[in-house]
Amino acid sequence: MMIKGLMMRDWRVLRHQGFLLVFTAALTALYMASGMLQFGQCFAPLMLSLMVLRAVCDDLQSSHARALFTLPFTRGAYVWEKMLLGLGAPIALTAILGAVATLSGRQDVHVTLVLCAAMACGLALMAALFLPLTICFGERAIIAMPLAMAVLVLVVVCYGNVVGDRVFDAMVQAVEAWMRQVPPAMPYCAAAAITLVLALGSGALSAWLLRRQDL
């Protein structure tokens, strides 16, 4: 019941960000209609996850933060609802967009499954890192998030320019060879296990940190 009430509250908050939602949907449709199909499937889930983290920051930094936790839900329930919304909803959105791409004949079902597994791990890692940081550091963590992503992309691009494509091709071939040797379901089970461990670990840590916050 507490989780349901928190989700209804978050839905009302998201509706006030109508312009950002429409902008994200339009860009996603544009990417998927062009040659950037996989990027479009990743863009909207990432934006949704960032909006949830932004909502956490706004809740904890606002002047009503103390009053918020006098409502009939615990701080632990608040964290787990944000984890469910910030991780479960983007993963579901990735699967929906992948299904659309597959049913339209533009993407193989194997690519959709691999993309969903990779996005689940990536979103769980992002939540595991930035949800506790947002609770501890607020606005500074939100600012650091895109900067950290930009640095990561820059490092990958620079590394690729230095070593060339041969290393990346060898890594991809090694992963493909490994996937051919193991049972077909094992990579997806491994991705699910990694996602679950990261989500539970980050949720428990974030709930503990929020309980210690003096709002």
198 three-state secondary structure: helix
Determine the Cα–Cα distance for residues 39 and 191; give it in Å rounded to an integer: 20
Determine the Cα–Cα distance for residues 156 and 172; give it in Å rounded to an integer: 15
Give the range of the structural domain holding residue 198, as residue numbers without chain letter.
2-212
Determine the Cα–Cα distance for residues 29 and 150; give it in Å rounded to an integer: 23
What's the start-to-end Cα distance of the chain, in Å?
A: 24
Q: Render pLDDT for 58-91 as a digit per residue (tens, 0 to 9).
A: 777 766 666 676 766 778 888 888 888 888 889 9
What is the count of structural domains for the chain?
A: 1
Q: How many CB atoms lie within 10 A of CB 22?
A: 10
DSSP 88: I
Does the pTM exceed 0.75? yes
Q: How many CB atoms lie within 10 A of CB 132?
A: 22
Q: Render pLDDT for 83-139 as a digit per residue (tens, 0 to 9).
A: 888 888 899 999 999 898 888 888 888 888 888 888 898 888 888 888 888 888 776
Q: Render pLDDT for 25-50 as a digit per residue (tens, 0 to 9).
A: 888 888 888 877 778 888 888 888 88
Q: At what angle do helices 89-103 and 37-61 cross, to 10 degrees?
A: 160
